[in-house]
């Protein structure tokens, strides 16, 4: 059943950059293509936008297909539409990036993807289409935003130690941070809730914290500025 229009239309797809933190490594979920074009190369999860589907909904749909996870943080990244970016025709792709907590959530292997894997950002293979460019933009956006908005907590488990939070920023920003000054800065913001202590560790147990979203939003109303 064909669809006919008076003027030509491009196809519209959604691609999702899914970031996860594993120890000291930032990883991204990629899928090895089983068909041409770009057969065997790695690509971002994505697909066509359904008729009358919201774009963000499409992003959530792709995310859930690949990871089984719901309620994940996603944010629109950028829309790519350069002619020739897809050899099959004029394809416009709205890219979203997602931040997922690999510790708490079980990632199911996707049903329809032959080979989906978490790959380190520092050890990336060749990517299909313009997906390298898209991924680079996502990394740039993550680096830029993580300092001014409390995005980082999305990558951490519900309860985390100060050192984990610091490690996260060091990984994402690619810099070393002074422990003392980092704690002082975060503490002054008063956006963390104490959540008990670590147990069974071979050193002084760390106090665990969670991000206090209500308090953060309260502070935002009165001109507070998150900044690392």
Partner DNA sequence: ACAAAAGTGTTGTTCCTACACCCATGA
Partner DNA sequence: TCATGGGTGTAGGAACAACACTTTTGT
Q: 138 Cβ partners below 8 Å, 6+ apart?
A: 17, 19, 77, 95, 97
Write the binding mask 94 to 113 for a copy of itself: x where contact by CB under 8 A, - elsewhere: x-------------------
Please say which residue, 34 or 163, places its beta carbon nearer to DNA: 163
Shortest spacing between CB 207 and a copy of itself, in angstroms: 32
What burial letters (b/e) apply to 4-42, b meaning 16+ CB within 10 Å? Answer: eeeeeeeebbbbbbbbbbeeeebbbbbbbbeeeebeebb
Out of 16, 49, 134, 151, point to the residue binding a copy of itself (CB under 8 A).
49
Q: 24 Cβ partners below 8 Å, 6+ apart?
A: 167, 171
Out of 22, 34, 37, 82, point to the residue binding a copy of itself (CB under 8 A).
82
How many residues touch a copy of itself under the rule CB under 8 A: the total is 28
Binding status of residue 221 toward a copy of itself by CB under 8 A? no
Out of 6, 24, 70, 203, point to the residue binding DNA (CB under 7 A).
203
State the DSSP H helix or E strand holding residue 181, giving kind and residue range, or none if neither: helix 179-189
Shortest spacing between CB 2 and a copy of itself, in angstroms: 5
Binding status of residue 55 toward a copy of itself by CB under 8 A? yes
Write the binding mask 155 to 184 for DNA: x where contact by CB under 7 A, - elsewhere: ------xxx--------------xxxx-xx
Instruction: List, as own/partner pairs, every contact residues 195-198 make where C-beta atoms lie below 8 angstroms and the sequence separation is at least 24, other chains included.
Output: 195/159, 196/159, 198/161
Binding status of residue 39 toward a copy of itself by CB under 8 A? no
Please say which residue, 120 or 179, places its beta carbon nearer to DNA: 179
Please say which residue, 129 or 160, places its beta carbon nearer to DNA: 160
Shortest spacing between CB 176 and DNA, in angstroms: 9
Instruction: List, as own/partner pairs, every contact residues 23-28 make where C-beta atoms lie below 8 angstroms and the sequence separation is at least 24, other chains included.
Output: 24/167, 24/171, 25/120, 25/121, 25/122, 25/171, 26/120, 26/121, 26/171, 26/172, 27/102, 27/118, 27/119, 27/120, 27/121, 28/118, 28/119, 28/121, 28/124, 28/135
Give the binding site for a copy of itself (CB under 8 A): 2-12, 48-49, 51-55, 76, 78-79, 81-84, 90, 92, 94
Q: Which residues bind DNA (CB under 7 A)?
A: 161-163, 178-181, 183-185, 188, 199-207, 227
């Amino acid at each position: 059943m064909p669809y006919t229009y008076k003027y030509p239309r491009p196809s519209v797809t959604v691609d999702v950059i899914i970031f996860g933190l594993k120890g000291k490594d930032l990883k991204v979920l990629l899928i090895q293509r089983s068909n041409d074009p770009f057969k065997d190369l790695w690509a971002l999860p994505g697909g066509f936008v359904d008729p009358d589907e919201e774009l963000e909904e499409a992003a959530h749909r792709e995310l859930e297909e690949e990871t089984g996870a719901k309620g994940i943080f996603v944010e629109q990244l950028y829309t790519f539409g350069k002619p020739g970016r897809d050899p099959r025709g004029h394809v416009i792709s709205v890219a979203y990036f997602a931040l997922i907590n690999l510790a708490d959530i079980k990632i199911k292997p996707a049903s329809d993807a032959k080979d989906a894997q978490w790959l380190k950002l520092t050890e990336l293979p060749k990517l299909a289409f313009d997906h390298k460019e898209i991924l680079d933009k996502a990394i740039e956006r993550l680096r830029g935003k993580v300092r001014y908005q409390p995005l980082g907590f999305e990558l951490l488990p519900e309860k985390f130690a100060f050192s984990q939070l610091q490690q996260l920023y060091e990984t994402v920003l690619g810099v070393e941070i002074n422990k003392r000054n980092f704690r002082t800065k975060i503490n002054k913001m008063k956006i963390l809730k104490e959540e008990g202590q670590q147990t069974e560790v071979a050193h002084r147990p760390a106090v665990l914290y969670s991000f206090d979203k209500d308090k953060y939003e309260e502070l935002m109303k009165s001109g507070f500025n998150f900044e690392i």
